[in-house]
Amino acid sequence: MQSHIKILSTKVLSPASAAMLENKGASVFQHNFIKTESILTDADAGLVNSLAQQGLHVIFTSANAVYAVAEKLQFQPKWKVFCINGKTRKTIEKLFTKVQILDSSPTGELLAEKILAHSDVRHIVFFSGSRRLDTIPGALMHAGFNLQEIVVYKTSLTPVLLDENFSGILFFSPSGVESYFSVNRISKETALFSIGPSTTKALKNYSGNISECSFPSEEELVDIAYGYFFPG
């Protein structure tokens, strides 16, 4: 392990997360390797608010989707929600005070299994992003669900070429992996830290030195990197 630790985060961290590493003497570099933005127009607000009046089952796998939908709502929906744990669930609990969270899971694959276990659910609305994986839609459609998917935000890659040899790199999504490696390479000694299974799968194309979170959160990811570089 190199004497001076240089860590790259492919998403700008909270001040507390960055300070946790910097206080141990690590140099922390940060850049948002992806950009997300809502694509819901004012014309879409009518659809979103119409759905909010119905006691629907809905899926959220990203906090970005929650924010995009919340921007267009004129009142609190009474949905029954399936969602990803961590930031997505916390954002739902903060912005949607009248929804019922039926189930949540750390990964899309496990969330799909939980949805399938609800035999009373046959119609479901998925508020998704432009680069979502096929894990959940594929599983539900194969099982005969009536799936209504509404793309509410888009993800754009924002890579930057970095002339640094990093000790470790934090990755938060498969899109972030794609963006970083579109212009950068790593040495075999570089430790990679992954937010979850989908991100790990993308990283395996470039390295086997990967540590994965057991819970999808920035805090957990930084904790893993901290323990790796500063054990004990």
pLDDT (tens digit per residue) in 61-77: 999 999 999 999 999 99
Is this structure's pTM higher than 0.75?
A: yes
pLDDT tens digit string along 44-65?
A: 999 999 999 999 999 999 999 9
What is the chain's alpha carbon radius of gyration, rounded to the nearest angstrom? 19
pLDDT at 3 over 80: no
Q: Give me the pLDDT at residue 160, please.
A: 98
pLDDT tens digit string along 20-41?
A: 999 999 999 999 999 999 999 9
Mean pLDDT of 220-230: 96
114-119 contact pairs (CB < 8 A, 24+):
114/82, 115/59, 115/82, 115/139, 115/140, 116/140, 116/143, 118/57
pLDDT at 144 over 70: yes
SS3 83: strand
Place of tokens 């608010």: 49
Q: Where in the chain is the domain with CATH 3.40.50.10090?
A: 6-33+158-229, 37-154
Class of domain 6-33+158-229 (CATH, top level): alpha beta
pLDDT tens digit string along 109-121?
A: 999 999 999 999 9
Cβ proximity of 167 and 1 under 8 Å = yes
Across the chain, mean pLDDT equals 95
Annotation: CATH topology of 37-154? Rossmann fold (3.40.50)
pLDDT at 1 over 70: no
pLDDT at 187 over 70: yes
* Bridge partner list, 27: 6
